[in-house]
Amino acid sequence: MGVTDAAFANAVREAGGHPTDAAVRAVHAELLARWSEPQRHYHTVDHLSSMLSLVEDPVVALAVWGHDVVYDPRATGDTNEERSAQLITGLLQRCAVPAAVVVEVARLVRLTAAHAVDPADDRGIALADADLAILAGPPAAYDRYVAAVRAEYAHVPDDLWRAGRGAVLQRLLALPRLFHRSPGLESPARANLTRELAGLAQDPRNS
């Protein structure tokens, strides 16, 4: 699945929606505009496109569109995920998507706050695996990802960044499994996370 208006319209209709052409074009345009905001360096249309290429279920695809549609690096807690869930709910309602599907998409969006997914939650697994796939990339690609995320948090002083980022890495490493359907990604992802965490622990004055 791609990021074009036709691909988005197909996902909406395959998920049971019956939008007018005008409605689906307007919603798609709003989504793309949000994914193209200037504060984004990693959470961009490229990230959206990469995730969409990894999912097949149209309901999961709609959750991909919605999962980071609100992205404010200055937000705290689960604020971005909650606002994203609320926004995608309204947008899908404009596309005449069935209420049960809208609720499911919002549920999936909220799951991305922690990526702790029940092993029986097929859609949650598909979304989480796609969202975390970057963690298993080659070291150079992983380092580019980290640099892009750091750019999104350029307003955060280095000491606070190191503490906050370290907490995120430790939480991810504490998960029993990062990937449920892609076991081959587990080892390289954990190696990248461990390498980054070790780097954060080093005194920057000695580097």
pLDDT tens digits, one per residue of 51-90: 999 999 999 999 999 999 999 999 998 999 999 999 999 9
Our count of domains for the chain comes to 1
Whether the per-residue pLDDT at 184 is higher than 60: the answer is: yes
Q: Report the C-alpha gap between 16 and 98 in whole angstroms.
A: 6
Q: Looking at residue 43, what is its pLDDT?
A: 98
Q: Residues 7, 100, 94, 43: is their CA dihedral positive or negative?
A: negative
Mean pLDDT across 147-167: 97
Position 115 scores a pLDDT of: 83
Q: How many CB atoms sit inside 10 A of residue 118's CB?
A: 10
Tell me the pTM.
0.93
The domain of 177 spans 5-206
How is residue 191 annotated by DSSP? H
pLDDT in tens, 133-148: 999 999 999 999 999 9
Q: How many CB atoms lie within 10 A of CB 4?
A: 12
**pLDDT at site 202:** 83
Q: What is the pLDDT of residues 4-39, one digit of tens each?
A: 999 999 999 999 999 999 999 999 999 999 999 999
